[in-house]
A and B are shown apart, each in its own frame.
Chain A
Amino acid sequence: MRPNENCNLTDDKKNMPTHVWHIWFCSCLTSQSKMPNQKSQITKHTVWFLCIFTVLSFDNCFAQFNNPQPRVPSPSEVFQQQQSRIEQQNKQLMIQFGNTPPPTQEDIIAGQQRQMQGKAPLQTHQEQIQKEMVLLLKEADQKTKVQNEIDYYNSPDFLNDQPYYLNAKDFIKEMLEDKRPLSIKDAYYKSESAYGNLLLSHDEYNKLIISNANFIKQWLKENGYKLTDSEALHYGIQKFMSDTLYIRIDGKLVGHMPYYYDYIDYIAKDDRRNYFVTKTLATGTGQCHTFPVTYLILAEALGIAANLAYNPRHSFIRYKNKNNAVVNYETTVDRFLADAFYLQTLPIMAKAQKNKLYAFSLTKKQVVATVLYDMAANFAREHWLADKIFITECMKIAKPHFPNQEYINGTESYLNKIIYAETLNTMAKEKGITDAADIEKYPDLLKAYTDYYSYMEKVNNLGIQDFPESEELRMMEYADKKGRLQTAKKINSKEKKTLFIK
C-alpha cells in the first residue's frame, strides 16, 4: 500500500472494462494483510465469485438493452420468434443454473466444419465462462498468493513498495550523518509512512503535534507554571497524556482527553500499525512503545530534553530534574518508578544494566537510530526478508550509534534472530533435516548453527535473558482479559478521532 492513500476510485478507473473494474475493487477489499500467504482463501474466492456473478448479470442486462426492436412479424415468424426466444431463455436459464445447454444445429455444423479444417472445437458457453473464471481467479491469486519467493520479489507489489523504504532509510541516515536536522518526529513519520496506510497524513501529523504542544503551553500558562522551567514542561506533557485538561481559547473552554492503553493487539501482531506513533496520535490509544515516543515527540516540540530507556520488551522515559537527578517516568501509568522496580522485571537484570542495555538513557541520536530497527521490522512484516540487504543495511547504519551497547534494542535482536532462523531453516530443509540432533552431521549447517549459538551466547553473557514461560503466559492472559473488557465496554481503540473537546 502506498503512503497515505486510501482505497479510493480514481477517474481513470472508470474507463476500464467492467469486469476489470470489478477485479480492482475487489482487490482493494481483500488486501487487508501485507504478508504473502496471509489472506483467507475462502474469503477471497467468495468475493471473486460474487464479482463474477455480478459481472455476468451486468453483461446480460447490457445484452438485453442492445437488442433491436422487432417489425410486426407474420404468424409463422411470430411462432419462430417465440420458439427462438424460448430456446434462448432456456439456454440462459440452463447456464445460470450451471448446466450446459444442448448444441443447436448450427453449433453442430460449425463444429464439424472446424473439425474438417483441423481446428479445435469451439468451447461451449459454460466452458468459456469457466475458463474466464479460472483466469480471473489466477489474476487475483497473484496479488496475495506466493507461488514462489522469486515471483513475489519480482512482483509490482514488492517492487513498487521498496522505494518508499529505501527513501525512508536514506532520510534517517542523513539525519544520523548530520546532513539533515535531527528530528524524532520526522524520523518516525518517515519510517511509518514507508509501511503505509497510516491514519494521519503528514500534514495532519505535523499540525496535531503543534496543536498538542500549544495546548500544553497554554495549560501551563493558565495554571501558573513558567514555560522556561523544564520541570514544568515535563509536568505539562505528563498531565496532557494522562489527564483531561481544559484551557480557554478566545473565552471558550477547550478540553483534551487523555491517552489510554490499548490492550487489543498491543504487540501489533495482527496489525503492525498498532506499533506506530501515528496510530496513537490519531486514536488516543497506545502502549509502552508508542507512549514514550509520543512523549519524546512532544518534548521535542516543547524544546526540552527527554530520554528513552529500555527494559525487557518495554520502554519508558528518563530525564533529569533540577537537582540533576535522573527520574524514571512510566508513561503507561503516569507514575515515577525507582530503578529497582524496573530491575525486578526478570529474575536477573543487573548485569544487563551494567552493560547499559536496560534502564539506561538513550541519546536523541540513538532514538533516531532505533527507528531504523523499527522500520526494518516493518519491512519484514510486509515483505519478509527479501534479499536481506535492506534489513541488514538498516542494522548496519544504526549499529555504530550504540558502541558497547550492542543488543540494546529488542527489535535489533529480533531481526538478527529471524536472519539466523532463515539461514538455518533453509539449509536444514534443503538437507531434509527434521531432527536437531542431525545438525551436527553437516559441517555447513553446523557452522550456521554455531553462528547463531555464538550470537546468543554473546547476548546472554551481556545479561540479556528471556521472560520465563510462565510470565509470558500470564502477560498474555492479562492482556487478553483487559482486551475483552475493552471490547465489552465498546471502546474502539482503532478509530481515528480527535481528543480535543470543543
Chain B
Amino acid sequence: MAFTDLKNMLEGKTEPNFERAVFISENPHHNSKYTYRAFQNSITEQLQVIQNLIKANDKSDSIDFGAKANENGRFKLADIRYLPKEKKELYRKALSNWAVFKYITDTVFIKSTFLTYYHAPYSYATSDPFGMKDWGNSQVMNLLISEKNQGNCFALTALYKILSDRLNADARLCTAPQHIYIQHKDPKGQYYNVELATAGHPGDGIIQTLTYTPSEAIMSGIALRDYDTKQSIGLCLVNLAKSYEHKFKTKDNEFMLRCAELALEHDSLNLNALLLKQQVLDARVTEYANKHRLNSITQLKKDTTIKATVSKLEKHTALLNSLGYRQMPTDMQEMILNQFQSEPNHWNHKTRNPKPFTSIKVQDPKDEEYWTLTAGMFQEVFEPKKKETYGHYTLNTTTGKITAMDTNKLKGFIIDPVAFAYDFGARMYDARLGRWLSLDPLQAKYPGLSPYNFVANNSIIFKDFDGRDYQIVVDKASKTISIVATYYVNDKKTEDLAKQAASEIMLSNAAFSFKEENGEMYKINFQLDVINTNSSNKFEPINRAEDNKKGNSISELNSEDFNFEVKKIDKNLDASTIQGLTSFGERINTDLTKTGVGDDNRIQTIKHEILHTLGVDHPNGLTSAKINKETINAILSYPSLTNKKEGTTSISLTKGNSNETMANYEQDQQPEVEVKSENATPLKGKVVPN
C-alpha cells in the first residue's frame, strides 16, 4: 500500500508531496495506526509557535527593500539583483527558515500574562544515530510522538523540510553519503547549508571531507546534491525499505529491492537507493555463499543458481565505483561512531593522504605536504586505486570485475551506509576545523558564516492571552454598555449549539442596567457572534481567535491532537456529563459529540464556558450558566477596582489607566474598551436588575 502510494506520486498519478510521502513511508512502522489528518494536525501545531516566532522577529516593515541610483544616476548591479518585491519575498523566506531552524534547534519561550511555557528543542539521537536500535529514531513521527524529542539526521531534516514547505520558504533537501541536510537562501539570495544535528552551517568542503566523498562523486551527481519534490519521494522509498528491514529483521528481501529499483527508475543518481540495492544484492550473495560454503568469487560465478545475482552485484558495484562512491574506511567509521575526541596532529596528514610526488624524493618534507581541512585526521585526497572494496566484495577498478570476497560478518558495513544518520558532531565540526592558515587574501576563510545573521534572534514570544477576550463598548450618548465577543467554530453542529447558547445569554439584554452614582442609567447589552470557519484545519478556530482581540474559539480536541495549549478533555467522565474547559480565557474545548446527552446539556455547557471567556468565575456553583448581577459585575469590572462587598464597579474608559491595583491581576488583563464618547470620566456605579 505504502509502496503503491509512493509509486503513484513518482509516476505522476498523484501529486508528489513530501509531507505525505514521509507519513506514508513511516506509518507502517507504527502498524499504520495513525491517520494522515492527525499527522498534518501535529505539523500544524508545530507551526503555531513558528509563526509566532516569525511575527516576533519580522522587521520587514522597517526595512527598505528598494534601491536608488547614486549621485551619477547609476544603479549598482548588486543592489538591483532583485527588485523590491522579490527582495521582500527573499526576506520572508529566509526569516521563515530561520524560525523553523530556531524551533528545531533551540528553546523557544512563549510568555503570556498567566504563565510562561517553552518548547524545548529536538535533539540528535546520539545513542542510536543510524536507527539500528530503534528505527523510529530515523522518523519524523517519532519526533512528534516521543517525549524524548530525539531523532537522527533524516528525522530532523525531514521535519525542517515539511515545516519550511508549509511556509512556502523553499528550503531544499541535500544529501551526501550517510548524510542529509538542508540548503536555503539568505535574504540576499545566496545559498547556505543548514545542519540540524549540530545547528551549524558547514561549507561544502567540510561535508565532502567528513562524508569521505571524492570529487568524482560530486562531479557525477551522487553526492552533495539537492533534491526536488519528486526526487525526495525516492528518499522516502529508501526509508520505507529500511523500515521493512528493521521490522522484519532482514537485509535481503525482494520488497526492499523493488523500493531501490523504483527509486532509481526515477532518479538514477539517488545514492541511498544505489546503496540499498548494493546492500540487498550483497546480502543475498553472501548469505548464499555462507549457506553453501562457497569461499571464492570464482566458485560463486560458476554456481548456476547464484551467478546471475553475482553478475548483477558485479555490474552494480562497478557502477558505484564509476560514479565515484568510495566506502568509508573502517577506522574512519569507528572514529565517527566513537566520536573521536583527541586533538588532531596537524602534521599527521602524511599517513592518511597519498603523496603528491611518487617518483622523486623531495629535499624537504614540507615540499610534499598536503594542507587539508581536518589537519590529517581523515583522508581528503583520493587517488585511483586498482582495487576498491564495497561491502564483502573487492572490485578490480580497471576491469570492473569482482575479484575477491570476504564473507566474514565482521567485515563490510559497520555503519549503515544506506541510512541518513551521520552527525558531524560538535566535536568534529568545531571552530578549529573552520580555521586554517591564510594562503592568499582571496582564500582567507573565516568560520561563523550563517544565513541567519540578519535576524534579531528573538526566541521569546509574547502571547496576548489577556484572559478576557471580549470588548466593552461604552456609548455615553445612547447610554449603553455593550459586551462584545466573537466565537469561532468549525462545524455546523457546534455553530448551531453555540448560537443557541449566545442567544440565551443575550436574553439578559435589558435585564440589567448599570446605575451610575449620579443616578444615570446605562443599558447593558450582550453582542455575541458565532462564526463558522468551515476549515479543514481543526485548529483554525484557535488561530482566528488569537488574531482577534475579542475572539474566542469553541473546539472539540482530543488527546491525539498533540495540542499542548488546550486543556484536554477527559473522556472517562460520567456518561451524562459533558466536559467543557476554557484555557487562557479564550479557548473552549468540549466534547460536544459525546453521545447519550441532550442538546440542552450541550447548550448549557457552552453557555458556562462562554461566561468563563467573559471573565466570570464560578460564583454560583460549578455548573451554573446563570446570568445575574454578580455575573455582569464580574464581566464589567476590572478586578483591580471591584469592591465586591459594596458591589461597586468602576469602569475605566481608558484601557490601562487604573489607579488602583490588586496584587493578583495585572493591568493588561483588562478587556478592550472602546469609548464612543469624548468624556473619559470613569463610570462609577453598580449593576442593578431592571
The answer, yes or no, to whether B77 is at the interface (CB within 8 Å) is yes
B443: contacting residue among A311, A329, A351, A354, CB under 8 A: A311
Q: Which of A3-11, A174-182, A337-345 interfaces with chain B?
A: A337-345
A346 and B203 contact, Cβ closer than 8 Å, known pairs A235-B357, A434-B73, A478-B444 = yes
Docked-complex contact A338 and B439, CB < 8 angstroms? no
Report yes or no: B83 in contact with A440, Cβ–Cβ below 8 A.
Answer: yes
Point out the residue from B66, B74, B440 that lies within 8 Å of A261, measured CB to CB. B440
List 19 A-B pairs, Cβ < 8 Å. Answer: A235-B362, A313-B442, A324-B384, A329-B356, A333-B437, A338-B353, A338-B373, A339-B380, A343-B208, A347-B451, A348-B193, A350-B225, A351-B225, A354-B221, A359-B215, A424-B80, A425-B74, A428-B69, A436-B80
Q: Which residues of A423-450 have CB atoms within 8 Å of chain B's CB atoms? A: 424-425, 428-429, 433-437, 439-440, 449
Task: Answer yes or no: B413 CB below 8 A from chain A CBs.
Answer: no
The list of the 10 closest CB pairs from A to B, nearest first, reads A344-B205, A350-B224, A325-B383, A338-B380, A436-B67, A343-B205, A332-B440, A340-B205, A434-B69, A479-B441
0/1 per residue, A203-243, Cβ < 8 Å to B? 00000000000000000000101000101100100110000
CB distance B201 to A347 under 8 Å?
Answer: yes
Q: How far is the CB of B190 from chain A (nearest CB, A)?
A: 5
Residues 521-538 of B at the A interface (beta carbon under 8 Å) = none
Give residues of chain A (309-349) contacting chain B, Cβ–Cβ below 8 Å: 311-314, 321-325, 327, 329-330, 332-349
Tell whether, in the assembled complex, residue B66 and residue A263 are in contact, meaning their CB atoms are under 8 Å apart: no
Pick the contact of B440: A333, A339, A348 (CB < 8 A): A333
A266 within 8 A of B: yes
Interface centre among B73, B359, B381, B442 (most CB of A within 10 A): B442
- CB <8 Å contact, B373 and A350: no
Of B67, B77, B183, B371, which one neighbours A420 at CB under 8 angstroms? B77
A-side residues, CB < 8 A to B, are 223, 225, 229, 231-232, 235, 238-239, 261, 263, 266, 287-288, 311-314, 321-325, 327, 329-330, 332-351, 353-354, 356, 359, 417, 420-421, 424-425, 428-429, 433-437, 439-440, 449, 452-453, 456, 460, 465-466, 468, 470-471, 474-475, 478-479, 482
Q: What would 17 more interface pairs be, CB under 8 Å, given A348-B203, A350-B223?
A: A229-B360, A263-B441, A312-B442, A323-B384, A324-B384, A325-B381, A347-B203, A350-B204, A350-B207, A353-B215, A353-B218, A354-B218, A354-B225, A435-B66, A439-B80, A466-B190, A471-B444
Given contacts A327-B356, A340-B208, A348-B183, contact A471 B449 (CB under 8 A): yes
Contacts of B206 in A (CB 8 A): 340, 344
Question: B189 to A460, Cβ gap below 8 A?
Answer: yes
Interface membership of B510, Cβ < 8 A: no
List B181-234 residues whose CB lies under 8 Å from chain A. Answer: 183, 188-193, 201, 203-209, 215, 218-219, 221, 223-226
Q: A330-B439, A336-B369 are in contact. Are A437 and B360 (CB under 8 A)?
A: no
Cβ-defined contact, A429 with B192, below 8 A:
no
Beta-carbon contact of B373 and A344 below 8 Å? yes
| Pair B446/A471 contact, Cβ less than 8 Å | yes
Query: Interface of B with A (CB < 8 Å)?
Result: 66-69, 73-75, 77-81, 83-84, 183, 188-193, 201, 203-209, 215, 218-219, 221, 223-226, 353-354, 356-360, 362-363, 366-373, 380-384, 436-446, 449, 451, 453
Given contacts A425-B74, A425-B75, is CB(A436)–CB(B68) below 8 Å?
yes
Across the two chains, which residue of chain B brings its CB closest to A314? B442
In the complex, A334→B364 CA distance in Å?
12
Name the distance in Å between A355's Cβ and chain B's nearest Cβ. Answer: 9
Tell whether, in the assembled complex, residue B205 and residue A341 are in contact, meaning their CB atoms are under 8 Å apart: yes
In the complex the two chains form, what is the Cα distance from A333 to B226 in whole Å?
34
Q: Name which of B73, B370, B440, B451 has the most chain A CB atoms within 10 A of its CB.
A: B440
Judging by beta carbons under 8 Å apart, are A449 and B80 in contact?
A: yes
B370→A336 contact, CB < 8 A: yes
> In the complex, what's the smallest C-beta–C-beta distance from B444 to chain A, in angstroms?
5
Query: With a CB–CB cut-off of 8 A, which chain A residues contact B80?
Result: 424, 436, 439, 449
The interface centre, meaning the residue of B226, B357, B382 with most chain A CB atoms within 10 A of its CB, is: B357
Residues of chain B within 8 A of A231, CB atoms compared: 357-360
Q: How far is the CA of A460 from the CA of B221 in the complex (A)?
A: 18
Give every chain A residue within 8 A of B369 (Cβ-Cβ).
335-336
The reply to whether B445 and A344 form a contact with Cβ atoms under 8 Å apart is yes
Is A354 a contact of B442 with CB atoms below 8 Å? no
Instruction: Report Cα–Cα, A429/B224, bound state, in Å.
Output: 44
Complex Cα distance A465/B436, Å? 22
Q: How far is the CA of A269 from the CA of B69 in the complex (A)?
A: 23
Kindly provide the distance from the CB of B576 to the nearest chain A CB, expressed in whole angstroms.
Answer: 64
User: How far, in whole Å, are A305 and B193 apart by their CA atoms in the complex?
Assistant: 37
Asked whether B354 lies within 8 Å of A325 as measured between CB atoms, the reply is yes
User: What are the residues of chain A within 8 A of B209 when measuring CB–CB?
Assistant: 338, 340
Q: A434, B205: Cβ atoms under 8 Å? A: no
Contact B359 A348, beta carbon cutoff 8 Å: no
Instruction: Give the distance in Å from the alpha carbon of A433 to the alpha carbon of B73 in the complex.
Output: 8
Nearest to A360 among chain B residues (CB) is B219
**Complex: A313 Cα to B209 Cα, angstroms:** 23
Q: CA separation between A453 and B81, bound complex, in Å?
A: 7
The answer to whether B360 and A225 have CB atoms under 8 Å apart is: yes
The answer for the CA separation of A314 and B84 in the assembled complex, in Å, is 32
A337 to chain B: closest residue by CB:
B371
CB neighbours (8 Å) of B439 from chain A are 330, 332-333, 335, 337
Q: Which of A225, A468, A478 has the largest count of B CB atoms less than 10 A from its CB?
A: A468
User: B433 → chain A, closest Cβ, in Å?
Assistant: 9
Contacts of B438 in A (CB 8 A): 478
* B83 and A436 within 8 A (CB): yes
Query: Which of B77, B84, B204 contacts A437 (CB under 8 A)?
Result: B84
- Interface centre among A238, A334, A336, A340, by most chain B C-beta atoms within 10 angstroms, is A340
Q: Nearest Cβ distance between residue A222 and chain B, in whole angstroms? A: 12
Q: Provide the bound-state CA to CA distance between A406 and B209, in Å.
A: 27
Cβ-defined contact, B442 with A475, below 8 A: yes
CB contact under 8 A between A338 and B356, given known A350-B224, A359-B215, A436-B84: no
Bound Cα distance A327, B441 (Å): 22
Instruction: Collect the chain A residues with CB atoms within 8 Å of residue B189's CB.
Output: 460
Q: How far is the CA of A359 from the CA of B69 in the complex (A)?
A: 37
- B208–A436 CB distance below 8 A: no
Task: Output the least CB separation between B396 and chain A (Å).
Answer: 16
A335 and B381 CA atoms in complex are apart in Å by 14
Q: Which residues of the partner chain A approach B363 to less than 8 Å between Cβ atoms?
A: 223, 239
Q: Which residues of A contact B437 (CB under 8 A)?
A: 333
**Known interface pairs A229-B359, A287-B440. Does A348 touch B445 (Cβ–Cβ under 8 Å)?**
no
Given A232-B360, A322-B359, A339:B208 Cβ within 8 A: yes
Is the pair B383, A348 in contact by a Cβ cutoff of 8 Å?
no
> Smallest distance from the beta carbon of B451 to chain A beta carbons, Å?
8
**CB-based contact A417/B77 at 8 Å:** yes
Chain A min CB distance to B13 (Å): 29
Tell me, in angstroms, the Cα distance from A343 to B219 when the chains sit together: 13
- Which of B66, B75, B204 contacts A348, CB < 8 Å? B204
Q: Which residues of A contact B362 (CB under 8 A)?
A: 235
Name the residue among A266, A351, A452, A465 with the largest chain B CB count within 10 angstroms: A351
When distances are taken between beta carbons in the complex, the residues of chain A under 8 Å from B360 are 225, 229, 231-232, 235
Measured between beta carbons, the chain B residues less than 8 angstroms from A337 are: 370-372, 439
Nearest-CB distance from A459 to chain B (Å)?
Answer: 11
The distance in angstroms between the C-alpha atoms of A417 and B446, with both chains bound, is 28
What separation, in Å, do the CA atoms of A288 and B373 have in the docked complex? 20
Question: Which residues of chain B are near A456, meaning CB under 8 Å?
Answer: 81
Complex Cα–Cα for A239 and B366 (A): 11
A452–B80 Cα distance when bound, in Å, is: 10
| Selected contact of B77 from candidates A341, A349, A434, A452, CB within 8 Å | A452
Residues of chain B contacted by A312 (CB below 8 angstroms): 442
Q: Kindly identify which residue among A238, A354, A428, A452 contacts B367, using a CB–CB cutoff of 8 Å.
A: A238
Closest to A417 in B: B77
Separation of A337 and B218 alpha carbons in the complex (Å): 17
Q: How far is the CA of A223 from the CA of B367 in the complex (A)?
A: 15
Could you tell me the distance between the alpha carbons of A45 and B315 in the complex, rounded to whole angstroms?
A: 79
Q: How many angstroms between the C-alpha atoms of A258 and B68 in the bound complex?
A: 48
